[in-house]
């Protein structure tokens, strides 16, 4: 009864979002929309740290669509001076900032039921889920892909564990706007396309292979 009561109280956008997962989703890489995203936060603690910005871009049919990109900045009371030098977002900058509630609504509307892709997805998903929780909302329902794990599926890369910088170097991706959410999302999108292309060359790649996880444990 409680959960039914709670469901009734979810905002309209969340209901719409939930509804999308009831439809059957396509089973091929080409027919699915992937949302590659990244968050910049005040720190690495899910409980106490806050999201400062979210950047994302979509891929459909192996094409990155710049027109379908996403970039928002959040107004947060939690602020740590020591991470400013990484993400460069000041507490009172010139950027238009949204409240966490507005930001989540926009983000949820943007991602829909697409597959979420990030480098070390677990962290970014967990940060979003924490924000959702503060709004009394459930967790994200989307399928997720971690480019760090996807990379390990490549031949001979099983035991490697690399950060985004190292992979950029390996895949010859220019590191523009590193440590801005949108910039990292863009870089990750290129990385994702390149890993996919290499995987396709190495084997007969199916959509479901992308989610077959061998060792997600320990990443959190």
Partner 1 sequence: MKNTISERIFDFLKNYPPLNLIPNATLLEISQNVEIQYFEKDQIIFSQNDHPHEHFYIINQGSVRLYRFIENEKHVLDICDEGDLFGLRPLIMNENYLMGSSANEETILYGIPISLFHDIILNYPKVSQFLIASFATNTREPFSEKHKGKLFANVAAIQKIEHGFSEIQSANYNKNPITCSPDTTIQTACLIMTKKFINSIIVTENEIPIGIITDKDIRTKIGTGLYTIINKVSDIMTSPVVTFPQNITVAEAQIMILKHKVSHLCITKDGSNKTELVGILTQQDLILTQGNSPSLLTKEIKNAKDAETLKYIRAKASDLTRGYFEQEIPIYFVTKVISEINTAITKKAIRMSISEIGKQPPVSFSWLALGSQGRKEQLLMTDQDNALVFENVNPAEYNSVKNYFLELAEKVTEKLNIVGFDYCPANIMATNPKWCISFDEWKQQFKEWITDPIPEKILLSIIFFDFELIYGDETLYNKMADSVFETIEKNQIFLGFLGKVTLDNPPPLGFFKQFLVEQDGENKDSFDIKSRAIRPLVDAARILSLHYKLRANNTIARYEKLMEIEPQNSELFESCANAFKILLQFRTSQGLANNDNGKFVDINSLNKADRLKLKSCFKPIKNVQEAIKMRFRTSQIPQV
- What's the rounded Cα separation, in Å, for the pair 110 and 70? 8
- Our finding on whether 80 is near partner 1 (CB under 8 A) is no
- Our finding on whether 177 is near partner 1 (CB under 8 A) is yes
Smallest separation (angstroms) from partner 1 to the CB of 157: 17
- Our finding on whether 154 is near partner 1 (CB under 8 A) is no
Strand extents, DSSP E, 19-134: 33-41, 51-60, 63-73, 115-118
- What's the rounded Cα separation, in Å, for the pair 15 and 141? 12
DSSP structure class, residue 98? B
Tokens of 58: 């979509």
Tokens of 166: 């190292």
Q: Binding residue for partner 1 (CB under 8 A) from 57, 108, 116, 150? A: 57
Smallest separation (angstroms) from partner 1 to the CB of 90: 14
- What's the rounded Cα separation, in Å, for the pair 127 and 49? 8
In this structure, the dihedral spanned by the alpha carbons of residues 158, 160, 165 and 171, taken in order and rounded to 10 degrees, is: -50
**Number of residues in contact with partner 1 under rule CB under 8 A:** 29
Q: Binding residue for partner 1 (CB under 8 A) from 46, 80, 91, 95? A: 95
For partner 1, give the closer residue by CB, 23 or 172. 172
For partner 1, give the closer residue by CB, 123 or 192. 192
For partner 1, give the closer residue by CB, 53 or 121. 53
Binding mask 97-136 for partner 1 (x = CB under 8 A): ----------------------------------------
Q: Binding residue for partner 1 (CB under 8 A) from 180, 188, 199, 210? A: 180
Residue 70's contacts (CB-CB under 8 Å, 6 or more residues apart) are 35, 37, 54, 55, 56, 57, 106, 107, 110, 182
What residues line the site for partner 1 (CB under 8 A)?
Answer: 55, 57, 62-67, 69, 71, 73, 95-96, 172, 174, 176-177, 180, 182-183, 185-186, 189-190, 193-194, 197-198, 201
């Amino acid at each position: 009864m409680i959960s039914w009561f709670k469901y009734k109280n979810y905002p309209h956008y969340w209901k719409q979002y939930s509804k999308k997962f009831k439809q059957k989703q396509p089973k091929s890489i080409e027919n699915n929309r992937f949302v590659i995203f990244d968050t910049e936060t005040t720190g690495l603690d899910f409980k106490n740290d806050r999201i400062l910005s979210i950047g994302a871009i979509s891929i459909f049919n192996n094409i990155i669509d710049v027109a379908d990109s996403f970039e928002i900045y959040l107004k947060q009371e939690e602020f740590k001076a020591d991470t400013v030098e990484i993400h460069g977002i000041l507490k009172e900058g010139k950027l238009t900032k949204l409240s966490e509630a507005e930001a989540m609504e926009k983000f949820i509307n943007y991602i829909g039921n697409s597959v979420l892709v990030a480098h070390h997805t677990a962290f970014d998903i967990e940060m979003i889920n924490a924000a959702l929780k503060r709004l009394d909302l459930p967790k994200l329902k989307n399928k997720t892909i971690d480019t760090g794990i996807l990379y390990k599926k490549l031949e001979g890369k099983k035991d490697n564990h690399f950060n985004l910088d190292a992979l950029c170097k390996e895949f010859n991706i220019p590191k523009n706007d590193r440590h801005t959410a949108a910039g990292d999302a863009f870089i990750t999108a290129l990385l994702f396309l390149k890993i996919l292309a290499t995987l396709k060359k190495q084997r007969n790649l199916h959509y479901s292979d992308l989610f077959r996880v061998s060792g997600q444990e320990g990443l959190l």
